[in-house]
Amino acid sequence: MRAEDNQFQSFAIQQAGQLLANPPMFIYEFQRNMESTNPLPPGKCAGLNYHFLGGIIIVPLPDITSAANISLKLRLHPEGRLYPGLPQVDVVGGYWKSFLASMIEDKNAKDTDTDTKITKADLHGMFCGLTMASSLEPRVRLFWGYKYSNLNIDINLNKTQDILGSKVNSFNGRFNEHTFSAGMEHTYGQDKRWIIEGGYGVMNNLLSTKVSWYLKYVEVGLNIYPESVFIMQPELNFHYNF
Amino acid sequence: MTKSIRKFLLLVLFLFPARAFCEPAAIILSFTGSVDFRAAKDAEWKNAVKGAQIPDSGSVRTGKESRAALFFKNNTTVWLKENTTLEIQSKNIIDNTISLNTGSIKVRVPHLRFREKFSIRSRTALAAVRGTIFTADANESGDLSSLNVLFGEVKLDIDNKKSSLISQGNGFADGKVLLLSRESELMGLEDWSPATQDSERRAILKDNENKRNEIRQFAVQTNAAEREVAAGRDQIKEEDFAAGRTLTDVHGNLVRVDQRLDRPDNKTIQVINVVKRTSYSSGGLRQYAYNGTSSARFDSLIAKVTFNSALPDQINQFPGFFQQNDKTLKLDNAELIVANTTEDGSVFTIGFFGKRNPNSNSDDINSDLYVGTLSADATQTGQKKLFNLKLNSDLSVTGLTHFTEDTTIKSIESPDSTSGELYHYNANRWVDAANVNSKIWLTSENFVINNSGKIRNISDFTNGSSDFESLLKNSAGEVAIFAKQDVNNSPSNIDATNFLGGNATKKNIDLVIIPDLILSVIKSLATSGDALKTAY
pLDDT at position A19 is: 63
CA B385 to chain centre: 28
Question: Per the CB < 8 Å rule, is B189 touching A84?
Answer: no
Q: What pLDDT does A53 receive?
A: 66
pLDDT tens digit string along B89-98? Answer: 876 667 788 8
What gap in Å lies between CA B349 and CA B486, rounded to an integer?
Answer: 19
How many Å separate Cα B191 from the centre of its chain? 39
Which are the contacts of B501, defined by CB distance < 8 A and separation ≥ 6? B371, B372, B373, B374, B399, B400, B401
Measured between its terminal Cα atoms, the distance across chain B in Å is: 91
Pick from B110, B166, B189: which is nearest to A84 by CB?
Answer: B110
- A44: chain B residues, CB-CB within 8 Å: 167
Q: Do residue B179 and residue A83 have CB atoms under 8 angstroms apart?
A: no
Segment A180-234, tens digit of pLDDT:
999 999 999 888 999 999 999 998 888 999 999 999 999 998 888 887 767 788 8
CB-CB neighbors (< 8 A) of A137 in chain B = 185, 189
ipTM surpasses cut 0.85: no
Of A79, A139, A190, the CB nearest to B152: A79
Higher pLDDT, A2 or B381: B381
Q: What are phi and psi of B502, to 5 degrees?
A: -60, 165
Q: Are strands B153-158 and B125-129 parallel, antiparallel or unpaired?
A: antiparallel
Closest Cβ–Cβ partner in B110, B153, B189 for A43: B153
Chain B residues in contact with A46 (beta carbon < 8 A): none
**Is the pLDDT reported for residue A101 higher than 50?**
yes
What pLDDT score does A99 carry? Answer: 75
What's the mean pLDDT in B456-468?
Answer: 76
Cα–Cα separations (whole angstroms), residue B110 to B56, B78, B172: 21, 11, 21
- Which of A80, A137, A187 is opposite residue B179, by nearest beta carbon? A187
**Per-residue CA distances from B140 to B120, B160, B172, B306 (Å):** 16, 21, 18, 82
DSSP-assigned letters across all residues of B345-403: TEEEEEEEEEE--TTS-----EEEEEEEEEE--SS--HHHHHHT--B-TTS-BTTSEEE
pLDDT at B87: 92
| CA distances to A5, A102, A138, B181 from A188, in Å | 45, 43, 11, 10
DSSP B312: P
Q: Give the confidence band of A8 by pLDDT, cuts at 50, 70, 90.
A: low
The whole-chain average pLDDT of chain B stands at 84
Average pLDDT over residues B267-272: 90
The minimum CA-CA distance between B163 and chain A, rounded to whole Å, is: 14
Residues 6+ apart with CB under 8 A from B132: A80, B107, B108, B109, B149, B151, B152, B153, B154
- At residue B17's C-alpha, the angle toward residues B15 and B19, to 5°, is 105
CB contact under 8 A, A138 and B168: yes
* pLDDT tens-digit map of B109-167: 876 667 778 888 888 888 888 668 899 999 888 888 999 999 888 888 887 777 888 88
pLDDT at B49 (0 to 100): 92
Q: Which residue of B has its CA nearest to A44?
A: B167
Residues B110, A42: C-beta atoms closer than 8 Å? no
Helix (H) or strand (E) holding B7: helix B2-15
Residue of B nearest to A190 (CA): B179
| pTM, rounded to two decimals | 0.55
Q: How far is A73 from chain B (nearest CA, A)?
A: 18
Cα separations in angstroms, B265 against B9, B12, B304, B309 = 91, 93, 11, 11
Q: Do A82 and B111 touch (CB under 8 A)?
A: yes
Distance of CA B445 to the CA centre of its chain: 47
Asked if B178's CB is within 8 angstroms of A42's CB, the reply is no
**Which one of A2, A86, A135, A136 would you mutate to disrupt binding with B, by most B Cβ within 10 Å of its Cβ?**
A135
pLDDT score for B336: 94
The pLDDT of residue B534 is 37
CB atoms A139 and B152 under 8 Å: no
Which among A81, A188, A189 is the nearest to B130, CB-wise? A81
User: CA separation (Å) from B496 to B54, B155, B269, B348, B400?
Assistant: 108, 93, 32, 12, 14
Q: Do B166 and A43 touch (CB under 8 A)?
A: yes
Helical ranges in B262-326 per DSSP H: 318-324
Backbone angles phi, psi at B229, to 5 degrees: -60, -45
Nearest to A42 among B112, B167, B179 (CB): B167
